[in-house]
Amino acid sequence: MSDAEQASDFDPTTTVDEFEPVDVFPSSEDMDLRPGADNCYKCTSCDTSCPVAEVDESFPGPKFQGPEQWRLKRGEDVDIDDSILSCSNCMRCDDACPSSVPLSQMHNTARGEYVEEHMDKLSREYLRNRMLSNYRTLASIGSKVPRLANFVMGLGITSVLGEKIMGIPSERDVPEFATETFRQWFKKRGGSKVTNPDKQVAYFHGCYSNYNTVEVGKAMVRVFEEFGYEVLVPKQQCSGTPMFANGMLKDARREAEVNVRELGKAIDNGADVIASCTSCSMALRQEYPELFDIEGIEDLSEHTYEAMEFLRIHEDLEGTIRESEVDPQAFAYHAPCHARNQGLDRQAVELFRELDGAQIEDVGDSCSGISGTYGWKSEKYETSMKIGAEMFDHMEHAEGDVGMTECPTCAMQMNHGTGYEIRHPLELLEEAVAN
């Protein structure tokens, strides 16, 4: 078209209001990530904070996985790069970004798209990842016959077959099932010992506190009752954390729908939701509203707390701890990455510093390396242990020979790398205030 023809097409009566913007990066999703991608100014803070990139040169890092891949994907005919499966979903990059780029939301979305569109659903990798993601289903079967399940899982032949057939590293010890689940225990004792319609909390116990580390859930109940709370234990599914990390977004949504609905009923009756696992509270607070559009999801996000955080906000937890005492003991404390993202990484250290008899040492800000199901994959085992090496070393140099953390899979890795017994902060709090 000549300049003269273009000039003749120009209509001087068209106002700015009638201008139709061109959608350079068309988005089919309801939750548009474009503003987040545009916020990236390539400072690389996220890349330098990524524990996987630090030990694995082939991993392109969070900036590529997030804003760069997002732009490439939208601007050209490009598929999601398979390196997205090497991101462990530790979410440290979220915390590192000074420009609030929603990196983990981008990673979760890209991983979901990759798994849905490009992964062979009959491949060993897909079947193994699906099984690991749906641990709750396995655990609910195993916990029906816990002694038999523990015996079979403890056999050498089982771990050899697990490695060969499913790609689960034989070096890992499968966690034992409790002989009585947390929910069975809670029901047997007749529910909460406290009745108080004005102080109610709904406990999201997650899978591990229900099937494996039942003592954490019991401690949580006893501590909250000591502070006068009626503890409710609503129906619930997995938080979805392992599903996000494996790109199983349909599974995660199925679980989220139940959790939003059931926990929402307790919220409507005036309760807040508390979790003892920092990855569960992270999922309910951040990942749910970032990834799903379910009625009541924002409400759940706003009413969810990590258990000790809730007591710090609503009770004089510090004062109570200061007046309490426990038998002399020293702990090597590791802050899980997902606690860091919620600003809770110093919480246990600062609180227990005031507790007579307890000595607690922070073993540094490194990642444990297991990241839920990540370290449970043969091809990631070495990376997982390389990442964890700094934490193991710091634990061994700490005064205490008992570890402490809020995350059940970090606890597994801490025990795996050092042989230490690992406890949850709620167990020490129970000893201090509820005995």
Residues that bind ligand SF4 (CB under 6 A): 40-46, 50, 52, 62-63, 65-67, 87-93, 96-97, 99, 101, 103-104, 107
CB of 388 to ligand SF4, least distance (A): 14
CB of 238 to ligand SF4, least distance (A): 20
Strand order in the sheet with 356-362: 356-362, 325-333, 402-404, 421-423
CB of 61 to ligand SF4, least distance (A): 6
CB of 317 to ligand SF4, least distance (A): 30
- Which CA distances in Å does 432 have to 205, 266, 314? 21, 29, 18
Q: What span, in angstroms and rounded, lies between the C-alpha atoms of 248 and 144?
A: 26
Q: How many Cβ atoms from other residues are within 10 Å of residue 41's Cβ?
A: 10
Nearer to ligand SF4, 52 or 410 (CB): 52
Q: What span, in angstroms and rounded, lies between the C-alpha atoms of 116 and 76?
A: 20
Nearer to ligand SF4, 60 or 206 (CB): 60
Nearer to ligand SF4, 46 or 252 (CB): 46
In this structure, are residues 405 and 417 in contact, taking their beta carbons and an 8 Å threshold?
no
Nearer to ligand SF4, 62 or 403 (CB): 62
Nearer to ligand SF4, 55 or 402 (CB): 55
On the CB side of 363, how many CA atoms lie within 13 Å of its CA? Answer: 31
CB of 105 to ligand SF4, least distance (A): 11
For residue 286, the Cα-to-chain-centroid distance in whole angstroms is 10
Residue type, 267: I
Nearer to ligand SF4, 33 or 267 (CB): 33
Nearer to ligand SF4, 15 or 58 (CB): 58
CB of 247 to ligand SF4, least distance (A): 13
CB of 100 to ligand SF4, least distance (A): 8
Nearer to ligand SF4, 67 or 234 (CB): 67
Contacts of 190 (CB under 8 A, 6+ apart): none
Residue type, 350: E
Q: What span, in angstroms and rounded, lies between the C-alpha atoms of 431 and 426?
A: 9
CB of 48 to ligand SF4, least distance (A): 9
